[in-house]
Copies of this chain bind each other. A is one copy, B any other.
């Protein structure tokens, strides 16, 4: 019950899973993530990264160079979350068409 609310707070927002997936996909720097997650604002990328960092799902490594370089990476915890989410994404892929048909049928019946 409360555990469900907590997992949804972590995974149910608009960007978290996309950022995690992008990290798994090879992105590591802030700019990589901006183009790896199309549509995300700097604000939301920053906030999402901080949240992931706080949860221990990613690491952040800053290199004292010019120009500055910062690399993010999934922890094993972050990877395990993504693996679990992939099952859900797979479910969606499998049933997507069926759901669309259900919706169309429902809408047709509603307007009748």
* Copies of this protein, total: 2
Q: Does A8 contact B (CB under 8 A)?
A: yes
List, in ascending order, chain B residues with CB within 8 A of A32's CB: none
Q: Does A44 contact B (CB under 8 A)?
A: no
Flag if B3 contacts A21 (CB, 8 Å).
no
List, in ascending order, chain B residues with CB within 8 A of A1's CB: 18, 38
Q: How many residues of A contact B (CB 8 A)?
A: 41
Flag if A95 contacts B107 (CB, 8 Å).
no
* Interface hub of A81, A91, A96 (most chain B Cβ within 10 A): A91
List, in ascending order, chain B residues with CB within 8 A of A98's CB: 56, 77
Q: In the bound complex, how far is the Cα of B89 from the Cα of A75, in angstroms?
A: 19
